[in-house]
């Protein structure tokens, strides 16, 4: 058996940036972190990238937990209103051509999204009079796009050099790369391809941003109910029995999962969330998983 690592002060940051290969359960992890933070008395908002027919306002989804889908076009309108203001900003946002060209600018979409998240993470929000959030959790895109999102503010700062875009991008970059303010959590499944992608992400994060993830969460790890001598006894019952085949298959999967966890732990602290044998994770399941995660978050 293996024991989970502990991650210090993860929820004492202003922003927790959660990413991982598609399908590994980063939304589950973001939800669990929000539940833990709320139980500790924090006012939390979970941010997602907006899709079709999604909410774009800050809504309370549970006590002390809010949610928002960040829409790049709305973020653009907010930015222009904040930085330009007056009649000129109204003309610009009403121009379809301008909005199309702005959205098509390389990296601008990512800058606007992370800029909105950064704004929510400020204790004195510029664009809202609402009570500030103690913690912002970003359910970020998959690892490749997430790395680009982290890198974009620095790129715009360096390219623009002077002016409001450079200054704003510089502030965001400084915030994202400050380990006292921002935590990065990589989510993996205990299989070879997600683990490989997570290892590559950790390496790229170090090479390009000079950062390390604060934690890796391995989601959906099979429990191992058998010791070696117990497996020998199970095998002696006869491989033709369906119960024996099921027990042996589960044991092999659990052993494979443990090996993948060990691979990741050579690169970063890894926390474990167990596999739940349920067709769909509801509130009760998320509550259960958050209770598993909570003791590992000091």
Strands 182-188 and 59-62: what pairing?
unpaired
Instruction: Give me the pLDDT at residue 288, please.
Output: 96
- Condensed to tens digits (0 to 9), the pLDDT of residues 248-296 reads 778 888 999 999 999 999 888 899 999 998 888 899 999 999 999 999 8
- CA distances to 3, 123, 158, 238, 252 from 246, rounded to whole Å, are 25, 53, 57, 12, 10
Closest CA to 13 of 107, 138, 200: 138
Q: Dig out the tokens for 19 from the structure.
A: 């990413």
Spatial separation of the C-alpha atoms in residues 29 and 106, rounded to whole Å:
30
Whole-number pLDDT of residue 125: 60
Retrieve residue 190's tokens. Answer: 């205990």
Residue 101 banded pLDDT, cuts 50, 70, 90: very low
In a domain, 261, yes or no: no
62 to each of 39, 133, 166, how far by Cα in Å?
Answer: 11, 14, 37
Percent of the chain whose predicted confidence (pLDDT) is above 70 = 80
Would you call 25 exposed, middle or buried from its count of C-beta atoms within 10 A (0-12, 13-18, 19+)? buried
pLDDT at 247: 76
- pTM here? 0.86
User: Which token pair is 226?
Assistant: 């058998």
In a domain, 256, yes or no: no
Question: For 218-235, how does the pLDDT look when each residue is reduced to its tens digit (9 = 90+)?
Answer: 999 998 877 776 776 766
The predicted pLDDT at position 127 comes to 54
* C-alpha torsion 279→284→285→287, nearest 10: 160
Helix count and strand count (H, E) for the chain: 11, 8
Domain coverage including residue 151: 10-223+270-296
Mean of the pLDDT values across residues 92-117?
Answer: 66
Q: Within a domain: residue 247?
A: no
Assign residue 103 the CATH number of its domain: 3.40.50.300
pLDDT in tens, 186-228: 999 999 999 999 999 999 999 999 999 999 999 999 988 777 7
Q: Is residue 230 part of a domain?
A: no
22 occurs within a structural domain:
yes
- Amino acid 21: pLDDT: 92
Distance of CA 90 to the CA centre of its chain: 34
Residue 5 located in a structural domain? no
Query: In sequence order, what are the residues at sequence separation of 6 or more whose Cβ sits closer than 8 angstroms to the Cβ of residue 28?
Result: 219, 273, 281, 286, 289
Hey, what are 23's tokens? 């399908």
Give me the number of domains the chain comprises: 1
> The tokens 């003791």 sit on which residue?
295
- Which value, in Å, is the radius of gyration of the alpha carbons in the chain? 22
Q: To 10 degrees, the CA torsion angle through 7, 8, 11, 13? A: -120
Helices (H), 105-241: 108-120, 143-160, 164-176, 192-209, 228-236
Query: 53 CB contacts (<8 Å, ≥6 apart)?
Result: none
What's the confidence (pLDDT) of residue 237?
74
What is the percentage of the chain residues whose pLDDT exceeds 90? 51
Give the pLDDT mean for 18-35: 95
Instruction: With respect to residue 80, please indicate whether it lies within any of the assigned structural domains.
Output: yes
């Amino acid at each position: 058996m293996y024991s989970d690592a502990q991650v210090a002060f993860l929820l004492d940051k202003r922003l927790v940036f959660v990413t991982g290969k598609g399908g590994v359960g980063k939304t589950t992890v973001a939800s669990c972190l929000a539940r833990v933070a709320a139980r500790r008395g924090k006012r939390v908002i979970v941010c997602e990238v907006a899709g079709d027919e999604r909410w774009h306002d800050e809504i309370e989804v549970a006590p002390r937990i809010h949610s928002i889908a960040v829409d790049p076009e709305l973020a653009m309108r907010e930015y222009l209103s904040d930085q330009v203001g007056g009649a000129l900003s109204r003309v610009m946002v009403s121009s379809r051509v301008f909005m199309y060209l702005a959205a098509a600018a390389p990296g601008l979409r990512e800058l606007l999204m992370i800029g909105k998240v950064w704004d929510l993470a400020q204790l004195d929000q510029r664009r809202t009079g609402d009570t500030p959030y103690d913690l912002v959790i970003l359910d970020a895109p998959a690892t490749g796009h997430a790395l680009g999102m982290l890198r974009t503010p620095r790129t715009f700062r360096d390219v623009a050099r002077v002016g409001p875009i450079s200054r704003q991008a510089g502030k965001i970059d400084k915030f994202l790369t400050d380990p006292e303010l921002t935590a990065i959590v990589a989510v993996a499944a205990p299989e070879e391809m997600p683990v490989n992608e997570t290892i590559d992400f950790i390496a790229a994060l170090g090479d390009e941003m000079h950062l390390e993830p604060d934690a890796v969460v391995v989601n959906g790890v099979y429990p191992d109910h058998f010791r070696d001598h117990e497996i020998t006894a199970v095998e002696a019952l006869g491989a033709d029995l369906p119960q024996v085949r099921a027990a042996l298959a589960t044991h092999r999967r659990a052993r494979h999962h443990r090996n993948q966890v060990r691979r990741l732990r050579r690169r970063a602290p890894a926390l474990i969330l167990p596999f739940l044998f349920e067709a769909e994770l509801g509130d009760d399941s998320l509550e259960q998983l958050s209770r598993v995660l909570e003791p590992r978050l000091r």
